[in-house]
Amino acid sequence: MTSLAADVVTSRAGSRTLRGFAELATAVADAAGDPAWLADLRRAAVARFADVGLPGSKDEEWRFTPLQGLAALQFNAPGPAMPVAIVDLAPFLLGMPGWPLLVVVDGYVDRRLSRIGTLPPGATFGSLADAIAIGHPLVERHLGHHAPVDASAFTAVNAALVRDGAFVHVGAGVALQEPLHVLYVATDGAAGSIVAPRMLTVLDRGAQATVIETFVHLGHARGTPRPQLTDICAEIVLGESARLEHTRLQRESLATYHVGFTAVDQARASHYRSFALALGGRLSRHNLHARLGGANIETLLYGLYVARGEQLVDSHTAIFHDHPDCRSWEVYKGVLAERARGVFNGKVIVRPEAQRTDAKQTNRNLLLGDEARIDTKPQLEIFADDVKCTHGATVGKLDDQQRYYMRSRGIAGRAVEVLLITAFVAEVVAEITQPQVREALEALVYAEMNALIA
């Protein structure tokens, strides 16, 4: 595979490839010792990226998110991870100290920093590499099937380079009381490289769980850090009547290119609740696809993106209503300051069989600077005739009348703007049902709003 892969990627993708990807894919394939099914997946991933390369300006899904800066970078193998101590992680932990925690440093699980504790019988939370090594049947059955290599150029890159990540399995009827926290840490050792972890989460029939993904950067190098690419892929499979609350927090460094793809497959009567918060990254993109694969499913998507300076943050969602009597609700909000750019593209597709669908989609944006910009595109594609579907988008600035009202009540200075912006974003943050997580993120968002007005 390896030398051929390098030739194919170079010859077909040309200038739209990731420079250094072929060599990285070759090194991973040579060293991984993969089972046959994973080796086949890697070969398919390399071939796919060779065919499509990076998305260009003519790609409708990417036309507002240019990747020239990413294509100009030279990526190399990551260096040794910077030493990370437990105390370094304290600012990034949410909720109670005893919650199960899996720490992934520069793409590899660090068992020294992780604390899994004792889980109920039927529940597994640990390293994806370990699950592959022992031949766990769920990994072979699901990995690469819900976020296939042809879903995106970046799912192909992830499949070619992934070595480790998180594996979550909750057996039938098991209800986890404590959230499972996956903390992805990028260190200075990952500068100039591609970090490609993966998460596979499988909930069997009637299972219940809360999963938190957090992406952070720890670095002590002086000066501007070298860019890196975080290419993360998550596959989530919900069995009949299963319930999952999924919180995703991206707060990486401003030198990071972050591209994530989350694929959710839901069986009959299951419930998926998502909250995605994007704060960091030079360029941040998250695709969230939910496929409603049975009747009486509920899917709730909430999101908040905050950007300043030259940041670009992109949220793409797609909800596929394939069966009747399902409900989806989506609310994404954005706050953009200075010269930041935001992109929102939300699709709801209702198949002819999906009668009695109830789907609502809203995107609201607040621009705090004259040069801030948002490109928003909510979409409905409806092929059934008995549905209740709505969608809409708004873009605006802080209301002068609201400012005047608050000042007339004795609130002065920057506190006015901070309170107004906090009130704007509170609607989506309040949808986090776990109290400790909600309180922690409310404090984080409030601090971010203060920083925007400083």
3-class DSSP state for residue 289?
strand
At residue 9, the pLDDT reads: 47
C-alpha span between 33 and 41 (Å, rounded): 13
Mean pLDDT of 224-244: 93
Question: 224 or 338: whose pLDDT is higher?
Answer: 338
Q: DSSP letter at 62?
A: G
What does pLDDT average to over the chain? 91
> CA angle, 129 as apex, 124 and 130 as ends, to 5°?
50
At residue 43, the pLDDT reads: 95
Taking only the tens place, the pLDDT of each residue in 265-322 is 999 999 999 999 999 999 999 999 999 999 999 999 999 999 999 999 999 999 999 9
C-alpha span between 283 and 229 (Å, rounded): 10
Taking only the tens place, the pLDDT of each residue in 359-409 is 999 999 999 989 999 999 999 999 999 999 999 999 998 877 777 777 777
At residue 452, the pLDDT reads: 84
3-class DSSP state for residue 184?
strand
C-alpha span between 384 and 323 (Å, rounded): 11
All structural domains of the chain with their residue ranges? 2-292, 399-454
Question: 341 or 411: whose pLDDT is higher?
Answer: 341
C-alpha span between 291 and 146 (Å, rounded): 10
C-alpha span between 448 and 413 (Å, rounded): 17
- Other C-beta atoms within 10 Å of 81: how many? 18
**pLDDT over 70 percentage in the chain:** 95
Taking only the tens place, the pLDDT of each residue in 413-447 is 778 888 889 989 999 999 999 999 999 999 999 99
Which of these ranges, 181-195, 208-222, 304-318, 421-435, has the smallest mean pLDDT?
Answer: 208-222
Please give the torsion angle defined by the CA atoms of residues 275, 278, 279 and 283, in that order, rounded to the nearest 10 degrees.
170
> Would you list the DSSP string of 170-193?
E-TT-B-SS-EEEEEEEEGGGTTS
Supply 256's token pair: 């990071």
Instruction: With CA atoms as reference, report the closest residue to 181 among 216, 218, 211, 215.
Output: 211
Q: What is the distance in angstroms between the CA of the first residue and the CA of the last residue of the chain?
A: 54
Supply 283's token pair: 């360029």
Q: Which helix (H) or strand (E) holds 197?
A: none
The partner residues of 180 in beta bridges, in order of sequence, read 211
Q: What is the pTM of this model?
A: 0.93
C-alpha span between 445 and 132 (Å, rounded): 37
Report strand pairing: 108-109 vs 101-105: antiparallel
